[in-house]
Structure 1
Amino acid sequence: MRSQRTIKECVYFEGVGLHTGSYCKVTLHPAPVDTGIVFYRPCKKSSMVTNISAVVDTTYATTIGNDRLKVRTVEHLLAVISAMGVSNLTIEVEGPEIPILDGSAVEIARLVMEAGVRKQKKVMPYIKILRPIVMEDGHGKVAAYPFDGRKITFRMFFKNHFLGEQLLSFDLDRGSFINEIAPARTFGFLRDVEYFRANGLAKGGSLDNAVIFSETSVINESGLRFKDECVRHKILDSIGDFSLVGLPIEGHIVADKSGHTMNVKFINKLLTCSDCWEVVSEQVEKAPYPVFSYSYS
């Protein structure tokens, strides 16, 4: 069985928030077993455990919060925590948003690697998918299927655009995440920039932290890190969003043109379909609802 894990030493990073434009500082602290992933803001002396019930907004990013604390754009950080197998962590945040850094998760992943991940003396339960769970609407589709391991397949299609269709299947493990998914950057389209600014979004966005496309080319002089960087970034976002289930998932997640809002809706549906999965710990047992606060790894 897999053990719970935390980091060996503190990790610190800072930078501008993509949507708020505010300068933010983040410190990751080791935490004891059964802590889960907890956000903490010292100035408000307020904290919250990260899970699906903490989600308060999914407009172009995933925002979690409660009556005293709200943190925007948590998905890249949660993806690293999840992919690196970290179960217990206290995240100290000074500011309203997790820094966007270069638009990817590679710097956070590097910092966590340098700090090291430590096993703890308690088993890490996980959700095992037993039967297919499917949700679709007019915009996209998300499903979970039984699978011996952790896998994500994502498809996206850019109609009447040179990017066309991008499809990628990814078996989630620490090494492949760091090399193949973490470096993929946030992206957007030149035609949408004015809309974002008019609606108070992307105040901190620039060519230093996002890939921007015109109708015919990449605007950034540095070009792309991967030919299919867009779908890789969507997988990065999805790993972060699906960590909000509250436990690691053993199964195959298949997403077609999904985003933060649809990911969160699917998580809620999955948690209500208790006959389609089971919680595996030291003994196999069925739980009506996963009340744990661990990160999806």
Structure 2
Amino acid sequence: MTMRVEKQTTLFDSVTLTGIGVHSGGPASLTLHPADANSGIVFQRTNGAKVVETRADWQSVSATSLCTVLGDPKGAGVSTVEHLMAALRGMGVDNVTVEIDGPETPIMDGSSIAFVEAIDRVGLKELSVQRRFIKIKRSVRVVQGDQWCELNPFNGQRFNITIDFASSLIGRQALVFDLNAETFRRELARARTFGSVQDVEKLWKMGFAMGSSLENSVALDGDRVLNPEGTRWPDEFVRHKALDAVGDLALAGLPIWGEYRSYKGGHRMNHAVLVELFKTPEAFEIIEAQGVKEVARSEKGHADLIGGWQAAAFAPEVS
């Protein structure tokens, strides 16, 4: 079986999701609307009678410390866009207008599954225009301390994500997968954001993560997972980091035809590699779908685990 890559898509109809903002703790609502070919993903923030549009691309990123923020965070910016962006890219949605009523996308259960289910409810509409890709021609790499990430030439859309913590409880986890809707839905979409209780308490004192709870994140206190249901996979945490990477790299504006590798990455590193890529025009070219050979899915058809299966892994960022 091969991936369909030929035509751009949008949604058949509008669909609304409501919840709370993970940082404000207040109500948050968004509606996904169909959009024309070559529109890309555009956020429309309603601010009284005024509507401010922000393109979902790397140049709009204004902050990456706790989540990915587009636009002016003190004005009409939109934060925590990565889980929605991951669902749109993972499910192959090219063109959507996101109408949002406040500064945050709803956190839902801390994963992308609610957005995937919303897309499934209305379905995808294939447009008549060829899908375009950013094809990686030469490797680009970013190193910051012991963290690194890189984009490499590859005949497909591959992610190779590794997290590595000194704690024996966390350890090293890695995930390698070729991105398509089936893999995203089954292996990544339900992976939740995570953090330690101590880190969340610090964020509360600073006025952040006011909506964080066991309903929308996986919490660790010492060597205990506090969520009664435990984790959804033994390696849910590298899966969530991979989900974040899919969402952050969707801000390239077009699907990337190549391989993304990261070690101890996060929102900051995911954005940094896009900045480096677009500073290096000889490293990529824009091609249409007819210039892309469809890559055969692996025989197993799912993500491959690299290295040992560890217990719950937590990092301080709310991602």
1:162–1:215 contact (8 Å) kept in structure 2: no
For residue 148 of structure 1, report the CA deviation from its aligned partner.
Answer: 1.0
1:34–1:88 contact (8 Å) kept in structure 2: yes
Pairing partner for 1:234 from 229, 235, 241? 241
1:77–1:108 contact (8 Å) kept in structure 2: yes
Matches within 5 A, 1:78-157: 78-157=85-164
Instruction: Give distance in 2, aligned partners of 1:108 and 1:261.
Output: 23
For the pair 1:14 / 2:7, whether they are aligned, the reply is: no
For residue 65 of structure 1, report the CA deviation from its aligned partner.
Answer: 1.2
For the pair 1:247 / 2:254, whether they are aligned, the reply is: yes
Residues 191 and 123 of structure 1, relative CA distance in 2, 3 Å threshold: same
Instruction: Give distance in 2, aligned partners of 1:115 and 1:200.
Output: 36
Runs of 4+ in 1 over 4 A off after TM superposition: none
For residue 151 of structure 1, report the CA deviation from its aligned partner.
Answer: 0.7
Instruction: Give distance in 1, aligned partners of 2:168 and 2:243.
Output: 22
For the pair 1:272 / 2:276, whether they are aligned, the reply is: no
Match of 2:243, as an amino acid? L
Q: Which residue of 2 aligns with 1:27?
A: 31
Give TM-score, length-normalised by structure 2.
0.86
Unaligned ranges ≥5, structure 1: 285-297
For residue 68 of structure 1, report the CA deviation from its aligned partner.
Answer: 5.1
Unaligned ranges ≥5, structure 2: 292-319
Instruction: Give distance in 1, aligned partners of 2:279 and 2:8.
Output: 25
1:121-158 deviation line (CA, Å, top 9, x unaligned): 11111011122211111041001111111010111112
Work out the number of aligned pairs and report it: 284
Q: Which residue of 1 aligns with 2:41?
A: 37
Instruction: Give distance in 2, aligned partners of 1:31 and 1:283.
Output: 23
Instruction: Give distance in 1, aligned partners of 2:176 and 2:21.
Output: 30
Pairing partner for 2:205 from 198, 211, 227? 198
Q: Which residue of 1 aligns with 2:171?
A: 164
Greater CA deviation, 156-165 or 242-251?
156-165
Q: Which residue of 1 aligns with 2:312?
A: none
Give TM-score, length-normalised by structure 1.
0.92
- Percent of pairs identical after alignment? 37
1:76–1:240 contact (8 Å) kept in structure 2: yes
Instruction: Give distance in 1, aligned partners of 2:30 and 2:22.
Output: 15
For residue 41 of structure 1, report the CA deviation from its aligned partner.
Answer: 2.1
Q: Which residue of 2 aligns with 1:60?
A: 66
Match of 1:24, as an amino acid? A
